[in-house]
Structure 1
Amino acid sequence: MKKLIFKALAKINKTVLPSFTKKQLDISKASKMQLAIIGWRAFVTMNSLD
């Protein structure tokens, strides 16, 4: 059940949140909000793969 929720969240993240890799964002110059989005996407992705 938990995995299904995270898989759904991952699909929502992919459509709603911006992709910083396509924009070639430098992590050292990222704002706090951008870092939070990167962290959230990583958290959801890791939990959907378990």
Structure 2
Amino acid sequence: MKKQFFKFLAKVNKAVLPSYTKQRLDLSKATKLQMAIFGWKLYVTKNALD
């Protein structure tokens, strides 16, 4: 149940949130909002794969 939820959430994130890796964002120059989005996407992806 939990894994299915995170897989769904990962699809929503992919559709809605920007992809900073495709934009080649330098994480040392990222704003706090960009870092929060990056961290959220990382958290969701990690849980969707477990």
Where has structure 1 moved over 4 Å in runs of 4 or more?
Answer: none
Aligned pairs for 1:15-30 (under 5 A) are 15-30=15-30
CA distance in structure 2 between the partners assigned to 1:30 and 1:18 by the alignment? 13
CA distance in structure 2 between the partners assigned to 1:40 and 1:34 by the alignment? 10
Q: How many residues align?
A: 50
Root mean square deviation of aligned Cα: 0.3
By how many angstroms is 1:22 displaced? 1.0
User: When the two structures are superposed, what TM-score results if normalisation uses the length of structure 2?
Assistant: 0.98
User: When the two structures are superposed, what TM-score results if normalisation uses the length of structure 1?
Assistant: 0.98
The letter of the residue matching 1:41 is K
The letter of the residue matching 1:24 is R
Long gaps (5+) in structure 2: none
CA distance in structure 2 between the partners assigned to 1:10 and 1:25 by the alignment? 20
CA distance in structure 1 between the partners assigned to 2:22 and 2:48 by the alignment? 22
Long gaps (5+) in structure 1: none
